[in-house]
Amino acid sequence: MITVPKTVKWADYLAELKTAFESRQSVFFRIPHKVEVVYQETKCWVVHDGAVRGFMYTLTCTDNPVGFTCFYSGKKWPPGNYIERIPQIALLDEPIPMRGFRGIRKFNYP
């Protein structure tokens, strides 16, 4: 489970995912340390503005030694550990209340 910061508007986040999907790009989320238990097609739940909104499938967790520039925003990201995800989100019909946090957490949902 990851949190998209409140400073990012939900509509903008969904637009970024759509653009990434249409241009066959992966999306990345920086985490404080490499997580060995992230496997291909693991559900990565997404929290935004106080609620779990849906999930995306992961591809891998990698150590990027040089960083990268986001294709969508142009923001430069530093070297570090990143979860690579498929840019399609399965939205929940009813968001689940959940406080935001930093980093990554486990979350079990049926």
Taking the CB of residue 13, how many other CB atoms lie within 10 A of it? 17
* pLDDT given for residue 108 in this prediction: 76
* pLDDT given for residue 14 in this prediction: 96
2, 56 in Cβ contact below 8 A? Answer: no
DSSP alpha helices (H): ranges in 6-102?
10-22
* 34-92 residue pLDDT tens: 766 666 678 899 999 999 999 999 988 888 899 899 888 888 999 999 989 999 999 99
Predicted TM-score of the model (pTM): 0.86
* 3-48 residue pLDDT tens: 999 999 999 999 999 999 999 999 999 988 776 666 667 889 999 9
